[in-house]
Amino acid sequence: MTCEEIMRYRDENNHFAAFLGIRTLEMRPGYAMGEIKLQECHKNAVGSVHGGCIFALADTIGGAAAASRGTRITTISGDFHYLSAAMEGSKKLIGTAKEIKYGKKIRVYDVEITDDAGRVIAKGIFSYYNLGTPWVEEG
C-alpha cells in the first residue's frame, strides 16, 4: 500500500480518532502530520483542551508515521510533556511526527503538538512495535 492508501485506511478504520475529530493530513515514510479541530467537547473543567485529547492526537499521528512504513504497529510507550495549555482562542491543534529510529521491530518518533498560532503545546517521544503484518491482507 502507498502512504496515501495507508492514511486513508487508518482514517476510515480508527473509530476512536474519528470520534475525537483527529485527521491525518500528510504521510510519507517516517513522517506524518495531522490535526484536530477543537470543539467544546475537547475542553476540561477549566476550559483548556483535555490532556488526554492532546495525548491521543500525539499517539495517533506518531502511529501514522510508524505505519507509513507499510506494516501494522502498536504503541509500546509514550514519554509526553505538556508545555503550554491550549486555551480559548485555539481553533485547532496540529501534530507532527518525525522518525528517530526505524528498526526491524521497534520504531521511535519525535512528536510535537502546536496550536494554530504556532505555540508548542506538547512534545513527546513515542515508540511503536512492528506487528509484521501488512495493513490489508491480500486475497
pLDDT of residue 6 exceeding 50: yes
3-state secondary structure of 58: helix
- Give CA angle at 123 (50, 52), nearest 5°: 20
Domains assigned to the chain: 3-134 (3.10.129.10)
DSSP assignment of 102-129 equals E-SSEEEEEEEEEETT--EEEEEEEEEE
pLDDT over 90 percentage in the chain: 89
Determine the average pLDDT of the residues in 12-26: 95
pLDDT bucket at 139, cuts 50 / 70 / 90? very low
- Encoded amino acid at 97, one letter: A
pLDDT tens digit string along 87-126?
A: 877 899 999 999 999 999 999 999 999 999 999 999 999 9
**In sequence order, what are the residues at sequence separation of 6 or more whose Cβ sits closer than 8 angstroms to the Cβ of residue 89?**
117
